[in-house]
Structure 1
């Protein structure tokens, strides 16, 4: 039987898989969409746990200010390189024009 944490992680991964190329969202936006405003930390834990899952684009999940707060889990500048390959500009570990790249699942997944 799967634990409730495993089920939550699976739900988080399903949302992350829907983030379009060239767009980003935040831990909190995913948590809010899933009905847990205080669950941003749990979304972060899910992102940390999915690095062996190539179909989960964890690099598209950043903090609420557009900072690459999970960068160290990718090693080196991999997170930034993946975002830049999708047309998202990053400077000093922060997404340039974050508001134009932001994808809000609560608005996009009606």
Structure 2
């Protein structure tokens, strides 16, 4: 994965994440499409897991295609609720109500 995941790609992903407005969410796949890598949603997830080493980005606004929150990241829900993101249940945002239109 070292060859695929270079700093240019990392910053490309993070620049898209930085554009997600408060109160909206984007999916890993949506971000992958925006950077021209339609099939690389998992690669976007990998970048998200390392984002803290590259600065401060609103990674809490990135969820999976069904709106599921990151397992084990309890703060994500609180951060999204503080931005008035509607929740579908304990572990999912209401993706239809808050997905960022790219």
Gaps of 5+ in 2: none
TM-score between the two structures when normalised by the length of structure 1: 0.81
Number of equivalent positions: 98
Q: Distance in 1 between matches of 2:8 and 2:54?
A: 16
Q: Which runs of 4+ in 1 moved over 6 A?
A: none
Residue 89 of structure 1: which of 69, 73, 86 is its match?
86
Q: Distance in 1 between matches of 2:12 and 2:18?
A: 10
TM-score between the two structures when normalised by the length of structure 2: 0.86
Q: Distance in 2 between matches of 1:104 and 1:53?
A: 25
Q: Distance in 1 between matches of 2:38 and 2:21?
A: 22
CA distances 1:17-64 after superposition (whole Å, capped 9, x unpaired): 000000000000000111111110110011000135553100000001
